[in-house]
A and B are shown apart, each in its own frame.
Chain A
Amino acid sequence: MESALLLEKTILVVAVFAITLFIAMYSTLVERKVAGFMQARFGPDRAGPFGILQPLCDGGKFFFKEEIIPAGAHKFLFIAGPAVAMFTACITSAVIPWGQELVIGDRVVSLQVTDINVGVLYIFGVVALGVYGIMIGGWASNNKYSLMGAVRAASQSISYEIGLGLSLIALLMVTGTLSLKEIVAQQEGFVNWNIWVQPLGFLIFMVCAFAECNRVPFDLPECETELIGGYNVEYSSMKLAFYMFAEYINMFVSSALMAALYFGGYNFPFMNELGLSQNWITILGVIAFFIKILAFIFFFMWIRWTLPRFRYDQLMRLGWKILIPLAVANIVLTGIVTIIKDTYF
């Protein structure tokens, strides 16, 4: 029995890891495609039909690039930086429930790697660690531009994590649990999605998620025009690819989080009215979840090719003077509504 559990978890971990990497890999292609289409071009379409082999070519190219470690760099930390970034990006997906249970024979297989009862806190912990990868890399490069990028990344992450956390507190007041599995299970069907009760919270969460992922319009840690690339100036070869990859994985994970927390995760409309067996609902649910995730990834890219970058003081003003008060107001509002609901209805 125990070995069966071990086997199923191993398969699940490998599958989640593979899917995460696969989606991150193809996000690089989709990003360039979306950019092209929005600028009346086709984007890369030479490698294979529609350019679907492009990520493989890019990966191969990165492997064969010269590996440069600057003479003034701190060797160990210079290598540790991208490793930390990649590692923290990958382990976030452990607590995301990818679907309901599959029933195989008499075994019930949960499609979640681990259901810890403080899942949301775990994600916060890991996301907070994520900035270390950038900071270590930026500092160890011994370059003023990368240091600037690292400093920016650190202060930006810290500022927006507050907004992120406060916007989630309002959500937790509604759901009453920290376990992601239960949060998703509560949003059955379509009308129970958290977006309908927490629209403002979702907006704040999304803006903060953009900032946490260092995506446009909050890509100040790696802006090409001001910092010639930011924290990754001195990086080359696969270490640079790891930083970029970590960014795309972060994007995937935060899309999954937004879909799970606010858009019902694996729940889809009329899931109970269809009269399907448990396994079919689970499979359709996984597909629905991935459609939501991909829609969010597309939205990330859509925003990237629409908005210009914030100035640094504007970024700080938005974070501290707008998003945090708004999130606090959202908490107060949610509390009042909850009390009124509990007392009078």
Chain B
Amino acid sequence: MQSLSNRKKVLEQKPMNFWERMYLPAIGRGLAITIRHFFKPKVTYKYPEEQRPYSKNFRGMHSLKRDEEGRERCTACGLCALSCPAEAITMISAERQKGEENLYREEKYAAVYEINMLRCIFCGLCEEACPKEAIFLDGSHVPPEQLRKDFIYGKDKLVEPRFDYK
């Protein structure tokens, strides 16, 4: 058949000569390769003592952010839930009452905010969809659990801790 790419190479099937049939030179070359690998640096991270650094754009666990006065930024608009391809996010919204202005920034807030970490694919679309810069995937990876229900993270795990803002 005509070659289309002009890169076709016809290999000749030559019978092995005496030197090649002896195998010993080939075994010697093989041994040289393995002993070189023996002294090469190892790629293993010895895990509990030595942790592999995360990449800069690593997407891990979500956190719900607070603003500079320590109020929750989330306004429960539902865009994150809508954008989520894995449908991992659910929320129930509530209206802010009088006297709660120091807790929630907007007039509406998420009373319940749950992410199922088993469904989440860590694509980061929720982070992109959020108009209030309230959710970021800036944590580490999800720790193991014994039960499925423990992978559904509520606000207790998601909202970042309140700092003392003077």
The interface residues of chain A lying within 8 Å CB-to-CB of B37 are 37-40
Chain B interface, >50% SS class: helix
How many contacts A-B (CB < 8 Å)? Answer: 34
B16 within 8 A of A: no
Contact with A along B50-75 (1 / 0, CB 8 A): 00000000000000000000000000
Q: Is the CB of B42 within 8 A of A306?
A: no
Q: Chain A: how many interface residues by the 8 Å CB criterion? A: 14
A42 within 8 A of B: yes
The interface residues of chain A lying within 8 Å CB-to-CB of B46 are 42, 45
A303 within 8 A of B: yes
The interface residues of chain A lying within 8 Å CB-to-CB of B34 are 38, 302, 305-306
The 19 sampled A-B contact pairs (Cβ below 8 Å) are A36-B42, A37-B38, A37-B42, A38-B37, A38-B38, A40-B37, A40-B41, A40-B42, A40-B44, A41-B43, A42-B42, A42-B46, A45-B46, A302-B31, A305-B34, A306-B33, A306-B34, A307-B27, A307-B30
A34 within 8 A of B: yes
CA distance A34 to B31 in the complex (A): 13
Q: Is the CB of A306 within 8 A of B38?
A: no
CA distance A36 to B41 in the complex (A): 12
Contact with A along B4-42 (1 / 0, CB 8 A): 000000000000000000000001001101110110111
Given the known A-B contacts A306-B27, A306-B31, A307-B30, are A34 and B38 also in contact in the complex, defined by CB atoms under 8 Å? yes
* B interface residue numbers (CB < 8 A to A): 27, 30-31, 33-35, 37-38, 40-44, 46
CA distance A40 to B42 in the complex (A): 5
The interface residues of chain B lying within 8 Å CB-to-CB of A306 are 27, 30-31, 33-34
Contact with B along A281-308 (1 / 0, CB 8 A): 0000000000000000000001101110
Given the known A-B contacts A306-B30, A307-B30, are A41 and B35 also in contact in the complex, defined by CB atoms under 8 Å? no
Quick one: closest A residue to B33, CB to CB?
A306
Q: Is the CB of B38 within 8 A of A42?
A: no
The interface residues of chain B lying within 8 Å CB-to-CB of A305 are 34
The interface residues of chain B lying within 8 Å CB-to-CB of A41 are 42-44
Nearest first, the 5 A-B pairs at minimum CB distance are A306-B34, A306-B30, A37-B38, A38-B34, A40-B43
The interface residues of chain B lying within 8 Å CB-to-CB of A307 are 27, 30
The interface residues of chain A lying within 8 Å CB-to-CB of B27 are 306-307
CA distance A303 to B27 in the complex (A): 9
CA distance A303 to B26 in the complex (A): 12
Q: Is the CB of A302 within 8 A of B35?
A: yes
Q: Is the CB of B44 within 8 A of A42?
A: yes
CA distance A303 to B43 in the complex (A): 23
Contact with B along A303-328 (1 / 0, CB 8 A): 10111000000000000000000000
Quick one: closest A residue to B45, CB to CB?
A42
Most chain B CB within a 10 A radius of its CB, from A36, A306, A307:
A306
The interface residues of chain B lying within 8 Å CB-to-CB of A45 are 46
In the complex, besides A36-B42, A37-B42, 18 extra interface pairs with C-beta distance below 8 angstroms are A37-B37, A37-B38, A38-B34, A38-B38, A39-B37, A40-B40, A40-B41, A40-B42, A40-B44, A41-B42, A41-B43, A42-B46, A302-B35, A305-B34, A306-B27, A306-B33, A306-B34, A307-B27
The interface residues of chain A lying within 8 Å CB-to-CB of B38 are 34, 37-38
Kindly provide the distance from the CB of B50 to the nearest chain A CB, expressed in whole angstroms: 11
